[in-house]
Amino acid sequence: MTGVGRPVAAALAAMVAIGLLAGCGGSSPGSAGTLASGSGTGGGGAAASALSLPDLELPGLETAAAVRLSDLRGPAVLNVWASWCPPCRAELPALGEVAEQAAGEVEFLGINVLDDPAAAAEAVAAYDVPYPSVVDAEGDTRAGLRWTGPPMTYLVDAQGRVVHVKVGVLADADELRDLVATHLGVEVG
């Protein structure tokens, strides 16, 4: 390798490492934004008045039914994820645990983005994910939901408004239970 090639390779390796540490979308783990109407942004979020569920119908992954996102009413948790994203895979057990505990009280929906549906189905089976996912193979939800990359988790109220966005990987099931209690008013577990 030439003298010029080494610094370029080192820089590329550093960028890849930073991307893996920060999550697949480049957002830092643990950062979150609260979406309160008219409050502006906070730590990775956007104003609720500016962020609503996009009017897109997405096909279900495997046997799941198609879903028009703008028709969803909460309390609900939407998780943008991909099978190729290590932080997404890491948080699947926590999402599954809380989804099972909240069954009948809080709806859960995965939005699998920019992924191979077969690989996504394998991940769902491997992690025994108890809730449905829809497929956004082309990233059509990116603009409406303002995601930079997975994982991102959206909390939706009974009027279908996004009331909170968690940017990056969930630390554990306790963090998700706390978010659901705080932003959706539902005590889980």
Domain residue spans of the chain: 5-184
What is residue 50's predicted lDDT score, i.e. its pLDDT? 54
What is residue 108's predicted lDDT score, i.e. its pLDDT? 98
d(CA 112, CA 120) in angstroms, rounded, equals: 7
Per-residue tokens: 149:
């990359």
Per-residue tokens: 86:
């290590």
d(CA 118, CA 101) in angstroms, rounded, equals: 27
Spans of the chain below 50 pLDDT: 4-22, 26-49
CATH architecture of 5-184: 3-Layer(aba) Sandwich (3.40)
Pairing of strands 107-113, 76-81: parallel
What is residue 3's predicted lDDT score, i.e. its pLDDT? 52
- With pLDDT > 90 as the criterion, what percentage of the chain qualifies? 70
Placement of tokens 């994820």 in the chain? 81
Say whether 97 sits in a helix, a strand or coil.
Answer: helix
What is residue 180's predicted lDDT score, i.e. its pLDDT? 98
What is residue 147's predicted lDDT score, i.e. its pLDDT? 94
Euclidean distance between the first and the last CA atom of the chain, given in angstroms as a whole number: 56
